[in-house]
Copies of this chain bind each other. A is one copy, B any other.
Amino acid sequence: MNIDKIQIAALAGGVGGARMLDGFAALGMGDRLTAIVNTADDFSLWGLPISPDIDTVMYTLAGLANVHQGWGIAGDTRVTLDAIARYGEDPWFLLGDQDFATHILRGHRLAQGLSLSEVTAQLVISLGVQTRILPMTNDLVHTHIRTEDGWMDFQSYFVGRRHADHALEVRFDGIEDAESAPGVSEALIGADLILFCPSNPIVSVDPILSVAGVRKTISASTARKVCVSPIIGGQAVKGPAADMLHQAGYEVSALGVARWYGELVDVMVIDEKDAALADDIRALGHEVIVLQTLMGDRDDRARLATEILAAL
């Protein structure tokens, strides 16, 4: 694989995906990197369209992300939200003042007739990000989660109830009619490396794979298909992936992740903590790369990206 010319298409959710992308972008590969980002968590708040995963990826690649909380912009203030609460609204979803700017402009430009792809490209360019960030689709898809209290939309489950409920079932409303956004197919077809970022396989990556044509295009691709396990030492680095895998009947481990993706993935990148699982994963037919996969700052993300490329 010629590292200097490699084209990467990456399937990404929020924080984990954003950090992995940031690692490759930090190597100066931004212009050969296309992020295909989950939009099934998107929702509307006070009329403003919010795309949490796109924003996390965009802010992270722009060097703006709040590393500690995993979403939003570092150092952002919360004046607008407090004022909204003064008007009697429940500030259940924490939005910073700079964040509001993103959602206001996204809403405005969508209302003017631009697509989410077009708006995203504009915002990304304004922030000086070189990586192409594509929503998986410009159509509306909404993840719903069935808990013991019944079905609820994703953000109510994830933020409103802090994903404390068991996710008994997951569905992506609108997915049957969702077409992939412009550039998604081309990026997958042109890729030498298709990266399954360390994002939640069930609610971050699966929506992307479920968009018409995406799974088939990946299956048919001759690119290396590499998954960085989001499960380390039997735990999700962040979020409800562990519970979701368990509820779906998979081991909460890199092995479970490998089984979940099955033949769609060629190479599993697993953490050193999980080295003991390597043989079982190989037995499934995957190549295995064992690395220190937990990512810290940008240098550490670049270190992991370098090691993945070297191992391939």
Contact = CB atoms under 8 A, between A and B. Distances in A.
Interface in A38-93: 46-48, 76-77, 79-84, 86-89
Interface stretch (A101-109, A161-169, A261-269): A101-109
B84 A97 contact: no
Contacts of A82: 98, 101
Contact of A104 (B47, B102, B122): B47
Contact of A80 (B87, B101, B108): B101
Listed residue (A89, A97, A126) with the most chain B CB atoms within 10 angstroms of its CB = A97
B83 A97 contact: yes
A212 interface: no
Nearest to A46: B108
A101 B76 contact: no
A180 to B, nearest CB: 26
B89 A100 contact: no
A154 B134 CA distance: 39
Contacts of A104: 46-48, 80, 84, 100, 104
A122 to B, nearest CB: 8
A206 B87 CA distance: 31
Contact of A89 (B80, B86, B105, B127): B105
6 contacts: A47-B107, A77-B97, A80-B80, A81-B101, A87-B101, A87-B122
